[in-house]
A and B are shown apart, each in its own frame.
Chain A
Amino acid sequence: MADKVSFELVSPDRLLMAVDADAVAMPGMEGDFGVLPGHAPLISALRAGVIEVEGADGDSPDRVYIAGGFAEVAADRLVVLAEEAVVVADMDRAELEERIQDANGELEAAEEGEGRRLAEAKISVLQEMLGAAR
């Protein structure tokens, strides 16, 4: 058995990351889980949150924020499909706070119903990103 998990992060636009890691912690929809070498085959939906990669070789980022997605674990391979992914170290707190303020303004301006729901969802995603950036 290999002593590393090969971890791939794929977005619809391109392959974002492909590294070998000792362990990867995932924000699963039904609870967080860690993936170590020899993990049982699993397909899981992911909620918005941070993926933590431990013991990756090279200078690849170790914390990546994703806005939900899917993970597939099979035979020491971990493939994550994420529509949006941001490296935590690249996030700018000041900019995020500004975007939250903007979104709050949108929320106040929004009518009841769909627009309001969207604005609320946007704020919660941004706030999670801010939390992750700490």
Chain B
Amino acid sequence: MANLKELKNRITSVTSTQKITKAMQMVAAAKLRRAQEAAEQSRPYANRMERMIASVASNLPSLDSAPPLVVGSGKDDVHLLVVVTAERGLCGAFNSNIVRAVRQKAKELQEEGKTVKLFCVGRKGEESLRRDMEDRIAEYITLREVKNLTFADARPIAEKLSQMFNDGEFDVCTVFYNAFKSVISQVVTEQQLIPVKLPDPEAADDDDAVDLGGAIYDYEPEENDLLGVLVPRNMSVQIYRSLLESSAAEQAARMTSMDNATRNAGDMIDSLTLTYNRTRQAIITKELIEIVSGAEAL
């Protein structure tokens, strides 16, 4: 039978663990609200940018002369996977889900005979991918020091990507991130960045789209040049969006997993307290029996 002192120590240590997880849960809840707000406020820009690109692209005379960021390099031999993960752990399966999806995709691509390169954003993803795919990590950016994500954090990533693309280091670029669906669910999302998947103007998901009544836009400068400026900007916007989504999803995941941890700790304390009391009772009973039988023996 476990001794009383040990049990008491266990209970104290589980109680302090519970305090920590409870605090983390509350911090995550507060951060989640802010992250969610930021994600929502960035939507008008991204939506309108998307609509502009759709409109310009649908009016292109031909895709042949479009900038390479739009049509790609004409090959698909080298794939760059951008892995967006968290900087910290203790958020459930948040990071491992992304890493698993990336591994799977990398395996599929390699079986097709393509080359895979990785671009890690966030420390956790880099840490676990380094173990078996170190030679494939082309770039690693950490956002450790960043407290509040701003557009300025996304821009260097996008610039780095276009530079690598222009140097011919890869042909296709796909971003993996956790999209924030609701507080209890995060969805691993795979989004192709280069070449741009041109949105279908009909399917454009925008509640305040304007009905032009058949009118046609004037473009200034002309379509191809305009697309040449729009698309690199759009890349930063898309990256920014995935970073924001990922950070909201991270806080949500942490909140849920810390809530579970708090509950588990509570259950554990209950069962430990029960054992503790039973043991204590048993010891008292034993002592009483000893006294009584000792008295009888006299």
Tell me, yes or no, whether B111 is within 8 Å of chain A by CB. Answer: no
What band does the interface of chain A fall in when counting residues whose beta carbon is under 8 Å from B?
20 to 34
Residues of A within 8 A of B210 (CB): 74-75, 77
Measured in the bound complex, the distance between the Cα atoms of B47 and A8 in whole Å is: 14
Tell me, yes or no, whether A30 is within 8 Å of chain B by CB. Answer: yes
* Dominant secondary structure of chain B at its interface with chain A: helix
Tell me, yes or no, whether A12 is within 8 Å of chain B by CB. Answer: yes
Q: Are A12 and B212 in contact (CB under 8 A)?
A: no
Q: Are A43 and B44 in contact (CB under 8 A)?
A: no
Q: Are B212 and A74 in contact (CB under 8 A)?
A: yes
Measured in the bound complex, the distance between the Cα atoms of B217 and A43 in whole Å is: 7
Tell me, yes or no, whether A28 is within 8 Å of chain B by CB. Answer: yes
Tell me, yes or no, whether B226 is within 8 Å of chain A by CB. Answer: yes
Q: Are A13 and B38 in contact (CB under 8 A)?
A: yes
**Which residue from chain B places its CB closest to the CB of A72 in the assembled complex?**
B52
Residues of A within 8 A of B230 (CB): 45, 70
User: What 1/0 flags go to B133-152 for Cβ under 8 Å of A?
Assistant: 00000000000000000110
Tell me, yes or no, whether A14 is within 8 Å of chain B by CB. Answer: yes
User: What 1/0 flags go to B181-223 for Cβ under 8 Å of A?
Assistant: 0000000000000000000000000000011100111111100
Residues of B within 8 A of A12 (CB): 42, 45-46, 151, 154, 236-237, 240
Q: Per a CB cutoff under 8 Å, which of B56, B151, B236 touches A43? A: B56
User: What 1/0 flags go to B16-55 for Cβ under 8 Å of A?
Assistant: 0000000000000000000000100110111011011001
| 9 nearest A-B residue pairs (beta carbon) | A44-B220, A14-B41, A12-B151, A41-B217, A42-B218, A74-B210, A10-B45, A12-B45, A75-B210
13 contacts between A and B (CB under 8 A): A11-B151, A12-B151, A12-B154, A12-B240, A29-B220, A29-B221, A30-B221, A43-B226, A44-B226, A45-B230, A72-B48, A72-B51, A75-B211
